[in-house]
Amino acid sequence: MLGDWAAVLVFAVIAMAIPLSLLFATFALDTRSKRRAGDKRIPFESGVSANEFHAHRFTISYYLTAMLFIVFDIEIVFLYPLALRMHALGMFGFAEMAVFIVLLAVAYVYVWRKGALEWR
């Protein structure tokens, strides 16, 4: 009756059983919740408790560093497939990768000289 879909059904059942069993085990085996009191039950974000939280602004350098990290991280995504096919591409692939890395190095030196990597 199910034929080809039987494997998908078994996979779906296993995919749902694993997180549900872990969730059940968390609540079933939790012995600390009965002993918690006071501030330990208050939710927190990034290590700051709800009582201490107040809105504050992040500096521009924080966002600039985050954006630079994302840019250079994405560049690695472009290098990985090229590195995998390097043998098949030969000298053309090597030259292409060398030009790409030189451009990344120039951009890195430019950002460094502008002082974008310094926390002030």
Name the helix (H) or strand (E) containing 48.
Answer: strand 48-49
- C-alpha–C-alpha distance, residues 108 and 120, integer Å: 19
- Do both 18 and 35 map to the same domain? yes
Q: Which residue shows structure tokens 């749902």?
A: 16
Q: Tell which wins on pLDDT, 11 or 78.
A: 11
What residues have CB less than 8 Å from 2, skipping those under 6 apart? 9
Assess whether 113 and 79 both reside in one domain.
Answer: yes
- Do residues 88 and 111 both lie within one domain? yes
Same domain membership, residue 50 and residue 67: no
Q: Structurally, how many domains does the chain consist of?
A: 2
Q: Which two tokens stand for residue 77?
A: 């995504």
Residues 71 and 103: their CA atoms lie apart, in Å, by: 13
Closest CA to 117 of 57, 78, 71: 71
Chain segment 16-66, per-residue pLDDT in tens:
999 999 999 988 887 665 555 555 555 555 555 555 555 566 677 777 778
Domain region containing 36: 1-55
Say whether both 62 and 119 belong to one domain.
yes
User: Rounded to whole angstroms, what are the CA distances from 37 to 42, 43, 101?
Assistant: 9, 13, 55
Residue type, position 102, single letter: V
Q: Which residue has the higher pLDDT, 65 or 1?
A: 65
